[in-house]
Amino acid sequence: MHTNESTTSLHGVMAEFDSAQEIVDAARQTMAQGFTKVEAYSPVPIEELNDIIHKTRTILPKLVLTGGITGMASGFALQFWASTMAYPMNIGGRPQASWLTFIIPSYELTILFAALTAVVGMIVLSGLPQPYHPVFNVDRFSMASSDKFFLVVESADPKFDQQATTEFLRSTGAKGVYDVDE
């Protein structure tokens, strides 16, 4: 293992694991140590892992709800405006503000706005698109898309100490621990 802090700064320390259960256990221990800037990389989705390392909730659900309500309000307003002000027509003697008939398009716009907010919000909040990420500087990391599991403690973490963190990750049963250059 090389340490040349003088030339390149460090993104963090990466630990490699062989199984989902191992990385879940290691993540638990890591969080118990009080680390906060922790990220995990896995070839398969591990719902539990996300709950362990991401303590703070994303604001995405609230954005989606806001998007949905906006869609509903604007869909309803559009129809109300069109049928009572812009182009009022007598259709079978029904009231011009026939709100019952407005419900379906309003509902569709609720779903449309909510879905678009979810997709765009997910991309933006994830920081995508991201053409460069330091974890790819570690050669072993290519295995993250086949059968290895990686846990990274980032140097931005207030508890981060290159030596101590490396030793700690070894103690969690990591198959290898690597420095991640920035």
Give CA–CA dist 103/98, Å, rounded.
9
Phi, psi for 115 (deg, rounded to 5): -65, -45
Element (DSSP H or E) covering residue 114: helix 99-125
Q: Binding marks (x or -) toward other proteins, 108..147, rule CB under 8 A?
A: ----------------------------------------
Cβ distance 95 to 81 under 8 Å? no
Question: Shortest approach of other proteins to residue 103 CB, angstroms?
Answer: 7
Q: Which of 3, 8, 9, 21 binds other proteins (CB under 8 A)?
A: 21
Q: Which of residues 39-68 bind other proteins (CB under 8 A)?
A: 44-48, 61, 65
101 counts as binding other proteins under rule CB under 8 A: yes
Q: Which is nearer to other proteins, 74 or 101 (CB)?
A: 101
Give the torsion through C-alpha atoms of 30, 34, 36, 42, to 10 deg.
Answer: 10
What's the gap between Cα 82 and its chain centre? Answer: 40
Q: Could you list the residues that contact other proteins (CB under 8 A)?
A: 20-21, 24, 44-48, 61, 65, 92, 94, 100-101, 103-104
